[in-house]
């Protein structure tokens, strides 16, 4: 098989790239190791920056997003029984859109299938060959049969556990990582969200987040020890702990109910440099991971896809390699700023096991400063709504 761009990974990065390339007449093949249903079964964060909304519009996939997404002009931040609002619209002129990232992926799958896009599921043993030459190849197995794709470029959109990143030689690849000493226990429940906006809560007992998918579907998280297992937490225990971590007036209005999904996720900051090796380009979680506190996973994948699809479009339209040559440096510049924000917000809102009373006082002082200082709120809001591409 021959194509212009072989895309490894049928998550949001790979699908968005494939659809945008299609819009510019560039052929691609998406290789996904799981099934579509498996990919869509993954519950992921639900806050979209305007940059991602614009890309979905460019990809012709924003109708449902505009119909069902919720525009949020701000967020609530609480500590103990104190709570204050950061007004994104007033501080930056931009909102965010609350819309499940699973739905983004679903919309992208629908668009690719409607356009007759080449999506290959249940692939195994994907190997990238000759990435450092002008004739890269990708081999894989599907249905027990060996296959090969000859292509001009390879996009590694296969997430943190994929094969693309490791194709870059150890002697070239540099990795930076921070593993946080806590996780997030999350539940989904068919209950009315406790507040019209998200609540990020710092409490003596640890972090909590009150989020939502729609008026009757709520998403809640509480920080938990890495040693915890999902089976350690009954729904009742979860709700009681959440109530202890949010302001009393919010706890009093919290609607509880059975969880329809419950899981624990670890928190990690991770960046790979460079994000390009010859004709292989890394996008999204294949290149970087952020703790979910700032909801930046997909939003940072989106800026990678923005840079890469524009670079490839220029290459095929004019033969210019300026965009592909600048891709890694340009993408990493924004990645590192987003990594910083996600690390800062996580450190501000969580209680590390080794946190000292002084450390906690510093958190409370920073929260009080954020509450009272417009410049501090503007800096936070600019990062939260999304730094420029
Ligand atoms: N071959 C083919 N596909 C693979 C391979 C492989 N060797 N390894 C992984 N994959 C697939 C996974 O099954 C997954 O569907 O690649 C996809 C990667 O998708 P994600 O992990 O969601 O990564 P990405 O598309 O970059 O999404 C970025 O979006 O969903 C949010 O917050 C989430 O941070 C994440 C962001
Ligand atoms: C979510 O709704 O799942 C969500 C929202 C905001 C975050 C993280 C997760 O920062």
pLDDT of residue 43: 78
Tell me which ligand sits closest to the C-alpha of residue 288: 1
For residue 301, give the ligand 1 atom closest to its CA.
28
- Give the pLDDT confidence score for residue 44 in this predicted structure: 81
Q: Does residue 95 have its Cβ closer than 6 Å to ligand 1?
A: no
244 DSSP β-pair partners: none
Its CATH class, for the domain covering 5-70+98-177+268-346, is alpha beta
Interhelix angle 297-318/101-114, rounded to 10 degrees, is 30
- Tell me if the pTM is above 0.95: yes
Mutate to test the pocket of ligand 1, among 7, 11, 18 (most ligand atoms within 8 A of CB): 11
Residue 46: predicted pLDDT = 85
Asked if 201 and 208 count as a contact pair (C-beta separation under 8 A), the reply is yes
Give me ligand 1 centre to Cα 135, in Å. 25
For residue 336, give the DSSP letter.
H
Residue of 193, 262, 292, 309 with catalytic role:
292
pLDDT in tens, the chain (389 residues): 999 999 999 999 999 999 999 999 999 999 999 999 999 988 787 899 999 999 999 999 999 999 999 999 999 999 999 999 999 999 999 999 999 999 999 999 999 999 999 999 999 999 999 999 999 999 999 999 999 999 999 999 999 999 999 999 999 999 999 999 999 999 999 999 999 999 999 999 999 999 999 999 999 999 999 999 999 999 999 999 999 999 999 999 999 999 999 999 999 999 999 999 999 999 999 999 999 999 999 999 999 999 999 999 999 999 999 999 999 999 999 999 999 999 999 999 999 999 999 999 999 999 999 999 999 999 999 999 999 99
What residues are paired with 120 via a beta bridge?
Answer: 31
Q: Which residue puts its alpha carbon closest to atom 23 of ligand 1? A: 159
Query: Of all protein residues, whose CA lies closest to atom 6 belonging to ligand 2?
Result: 295
Residue 316 falls in the annotated catalytic set: no
Cβ(39) – ligand 1 distance below 6 Å? yes
Ligand 2 center to 14 CA (angstroms)? 21
Q: Distance from the CA of 342 to the center of ligand 1, in angstroms?
A: 20
Q: Report residue 375 CA to chain centroid gap.
A: 26
Q: Where are the domains of the chain?
A: 5-70+98-177+268-346, 180-267+353-385
Query: Could you tell me which of 195, 183, 164, 317 has the C-alpha nearest to residue 262?
Result: 183
Residue 50 Cα to ligand 1 midpoint, Å, equals 22
Q: For this structure, is 176 an active site residue?
A: no
Cβ atoms < 10 Å from Cβ of 229 = 9
CB of residue 219 inside a 6 A radius of ligand 2: yes
Cis status of the peptide bond prior to 151, with omega within 30 of 0: no
CATH number of 180-267+353-385: 3.30.9.10, 3.40.605.10, 3.10.129.10, 3.40.630.40?
3.30.9.10
């Amino acid at each position: 098989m021959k194509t212009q761009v072989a895309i490894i990974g049928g998550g949001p990065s790979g699908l968005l790239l494939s659809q945008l390339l299609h819009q510019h007449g560039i052929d691609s093949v998406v290789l996904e190791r799981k099934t579509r249903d498996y990919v869509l079964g993954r519950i992921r964060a639900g806050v979209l920056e305007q940059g991602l909304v614009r890309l979905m519009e460019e990809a012709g996939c924003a109708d449902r997003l505009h119909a069902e997404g919720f525009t949020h002009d701000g967020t609530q931040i609480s500590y103990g029984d104190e709570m204050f609002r950061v007004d994104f619209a007033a501080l930056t002129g931009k909102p965010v859109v609350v819309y499940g990232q699973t739905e983004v992926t679903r919309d992208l799958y629908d668009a690719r299938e409607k356009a007759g896009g080449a999506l290959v599921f249940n692939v195994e043993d994907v190997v990238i060959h000759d990435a450092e030459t002008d004739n890269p190849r990708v081999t894989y197995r599907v249905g027990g049969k060996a296959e090969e794709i000859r292509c001009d470029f390879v996009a590694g959109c296969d997430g943190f556990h994929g094969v693309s990143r490791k194709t870059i030689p150890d002697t070239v690849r540099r990795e930076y990582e921070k593993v946080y000493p806590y996780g997030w226990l999350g539940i989904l429940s068919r209950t009315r969200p406790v507040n019209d906006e998200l609540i990020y809560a710092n409490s003596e007992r640890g972090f909590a987040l009150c989020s939502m998918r729609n008026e009757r579907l709520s998403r809640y998280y509480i920080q938990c020890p890495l040693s915890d297992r999902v089976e350690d937490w009954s729904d009742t225990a979860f709700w009681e702990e959440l109530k202890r971590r949010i302001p009393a007036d919010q706890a009093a209005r919290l609607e509880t109910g059975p969880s329809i999904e419950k899981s624990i996720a670890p928190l990690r900051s991770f960046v790979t440099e460079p994000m390009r090796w010859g004709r292989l380009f890394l996008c999204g979680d294949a290149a970087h991971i952020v703790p979910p506190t700032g909801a930046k996973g997909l939003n940072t994948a989106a800026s990678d896809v923005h840079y890469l699809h524009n670079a490839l479009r220029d290459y095929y339209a004019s033969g210019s390699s300026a965009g592909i040559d600048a891709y890694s440096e340009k993408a990493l510049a924004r990645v590192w700023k987003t990594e910083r924000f996600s690390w800062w917000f996580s450190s501000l809102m969580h209680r590390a096991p080794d946190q000292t009373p002084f450390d906690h006082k510093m958190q409370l002082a920073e929260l009080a400063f954020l509450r009272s200082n417009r410049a501090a709120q503007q800096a936070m809001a600019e990062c939260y709504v999304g730094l420029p591409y």
